[in-house]
Amino acid sequence: MAVWIIEDKCTGCGLCAKTCPYGAIAIEDKLAHVNERCTECGACLAACKFEALASDLEQEPLPDLSGYRGVWVFAEVQDGALAQVSLELLGEGARLAADLGQDLCAVLLGHGVAGLAADLAAFGATRVFLADDPGLVEYSTLAYARVLAELVRAHAPAVLLMGATPLGRDLAPRLSRRLDLGLTADCTGLAIDQETGNLLQTRPAFGGNVMATIVTPRVRPQMATVRPGVMGLPTRRAGTPAVVVRHPVVLEANDGLVRLLARQARTSQAVDLSQARVIVAGGRGCRGAGGFALLAELAQALGGELGGTRVAMEEGWISPERQIGQTGLTVRPELYLACGISGAIQHRAGCLGARYIVAVNRDRRAPIFQVADYAIAGDLFKVVPALMEALKGVD
Ligand SMILES: Cc1cc2nc3c(=O)[nH]c(=O)nc-3n(C[C@H](O)[C@H](O)[C@H](O)COP(=O)(O)OP(=O)(O)OC[C@H]3O[C@@H](n4cnc5c(N)ncnc54)[C@H](O)[C@@H]3O)c2cc1C
């Protein structure tokens, strides 16, 4: 056990047990006991007023990580172009690199993709690590993990960021396991701790009820994924070309064990809410398909798309690709019109990037009003038709 109790200091006060998020401490006979649920998170150590807890980790000196330098962004290629999330991460990465006083670099894997290095430079990368090989023409878990791991071992970056896309969600955990690193998935905020230089990785935790900031002080690179749309898109600038560092690719037979057999285009009409300028979203307050039909009319009148809460998705009033929030999409429209939505933290996580939030709710204390730029306290079945009526006179 890496966390233990110093018995002659423990008073059995129970503060540590109350603080432990995993229920890993029990008080028996006026003494704290740590059980197998302990994850060594260290929360109890900070809570104990009597210094009656200790851990292995606390006593181990921090390793010298000064040789790890640079903020890397994995440049995901989708249909021959850079994925938008990679560009968003370059914008965020540039800020982190400036705070660290280090370079912003991109890692580009594929075949015939060298031309994309210019795009990466235009979005801030000063150096592009390029692995161009016929074996990388299609994404393959093992081949990509091998090449990326080789690059990380050879060049030792301090930070590695990836998009939380289907590809990123497959590749990032594979790489972190291969290199024995930590990985913080679905971050909503990234910053540099000025004192230690550690990456502060913020994400919702415990069902979205708290925002946790995670640090990885003992290993490098610090790996994090971010969902598309969470960070803003930086402006493209014409500037200095990036230095391209070519990496020789040598794949092994086993790297081809997972192969792409075929691609099948989605047959249903796909919607992409991440690009919508206006979203009219509904929740339980819409009461059913009828309420959503009303919102769809408003969305059409505003040239926007229909979205909704998880409740609306679970009830079958909207399709899953229209769910907004922590387990749905993150959107950044100009206008987000929330109708009959309470504004639970898990929903707000997906819409806070909107330029304007307008909320319609009949409960004046609804949490959505705390984040709304304009609040309409009223019954949506009266407010929405009134809005449509008012729109009739507008071009
Ligand atoms: C791990 C986890 C992940 C989650 N992920 C998501 C997610 O991605 N997205 C998401 O949305 N939720 C998510 N949730 C669920 C979330 O916690 C809330 O339960 C959900 O967002 C509530 O949806 P709602 O606002 O539609 O319903 P409710 O909370 O029931 O709110 C309905 C609102 O409608 C108002 N209302 C009722 N009638 C009217 C009317 N006639 N006119 C105007 N207002 C009216 C009410 O006053 C109320 O405020 C998640 C939860 C967990 C635990």
Cβ proximity of 328 and 310 under 8 Å: yes
pTM: 0.74
Nearest to 292 by CA among 259, 233, 340: 340
CA angle 94, 99, 102 (to 5 degrees): 70
- Ligand 1 center to 283 CA (angstroms): 6
**What pLDDT score was predicted for residue 61?**
84
Please give the average per-residue pLDDT across 208-217, as a whole number: 86
395: pLDDT strictly greater than 80: no
- Whole-number Å distance, alpha carbon 197 to ligand 1 midpoint, is 39
**Residue 285 tokens, joined:** 């307050």
Mean pLDDT of all residues in 275-296: 96
pLDDT of amino acid 333: 95
| Range of weakest confidence among 84-98, 131-145, 246-260, 363-377 | 246-260
Calpha distance 282→285 (Å, rounded): 7
Tokens 């803003």, located at residue: 232
Structure tokens at 370: 């705390």
Interval between CA 291 and ligand 1 midpoint (Å): 15
Q: Matching CATH topology for 3-59 and 273-392?
A: no
- Residue 377, class by beta-carbon neighbours within 10 Å (0-12 exposed, 13-18 middle, 19+ buried)? middle
Compute, in angstroms, the gap from residue 254 CA to the centroid of ligand 1.
47
Could you tell me which CATH class the domain 273-392 is placed in?
Answer: alpha beta
Ligand 1 site, CB within 6 A: 207-208, 283-285, 309-312, 323, 325-328, 340-342, 344, 346-347, 350, 360-363, 366, 379-381
Phi-psi region of 224 (alpha: psi -120 to 50; beta: other; left: phi over 0): beta
Residue 94 vs residues 23, 33, 106: alpha-carbon distances, Å: 40, 46, 11
Q: Is the pLDDT of residue 371 over 80?
A: yes
Residues pairing with 321 in the sheet: none
Whole-number Å distance between alpha carbons of 380 and 366: 14
CATH (residue range 71-251): 3.40.50.620
The reported pLDDT for the residue numbered 268 is 59
Nearest ligand 1 atom to alpha carbon 381: 41
Query: Domain-by-domain residue ranges, the chain?
Result: 3-59, 71-251, 273-392
Confidence of residue 275 (pLDDT cuts 50, 70, 90): confident
| Amino acid 209: pLDDT | 73
Token duo for residue 231: 């960070």
Angle between helices 380-392 and 289-301 (to 10 degrees): 20
Closest by Cα among 133, 119, 383 to 237 = 119
**How far apart are the C-alpha atoms of 274 and 163, rounded to whole Å?**
14
Residue 269: pLDDT above 80? Answer: no
Gap from CA of 328 to ligand 1 centroid (Å): 13
Mean pLDDT calculated for residue range 207-214: 81
Handedness of CA 14, 17, 18, 23 (dihedral sign): negative
Predicted confidence (pLDDT) per residue in 80-132, tens digit: 999 999 999 999 999 999 999 999 999 999 999 999 999 999 999 999 999 99
Closest CA to 332 of 267, 257, 273, 246: 273
Contact 45, 3 (CB under 8 A): yes
Mean pLDDT of the chain: 93
Name the residue of 331, 341, 365, 382 whose CB sits within 8 Å of the most ligand 1 atoms, as the mutation to test its pocket: 341
**Residues in CB range of 36: below 8 A, 6 or more apart:** 24
Three-state SS for 72?
A: strand
On the question of pLDDT at 384 being above 90, the answer is: yes
Distances (CA, A) of 349 to 12, 267, 325, 383: 39, 30, 5, 25
pLDDT surpassing 70 at residue 202:
yes
Instruction: State residue 199's pLDDT score.
Output: 98
CB 282 within 8 A of CB 308: yes
Task: State which of 230, 311, 371 you would mutate to test the pocket of ligand 1, scoring each by most atoms of that ligand within 8 A of its C-beta.
Answer: 311
pLDDT band at 233; cut points 50, 70, 90: very high
CATH for 3-59, among 3.30.300.10, 3.30.70.20, 3.30.365.10, 2.10.10.100?
3.30.70.20
Burial letters 305-333, b for 16+ CB under 10 A, else e: bbbbbbbbbebebbeebbbbbbbbbbbbb
pLDDT band at 256, cuts 50/70/90? Answer: confident
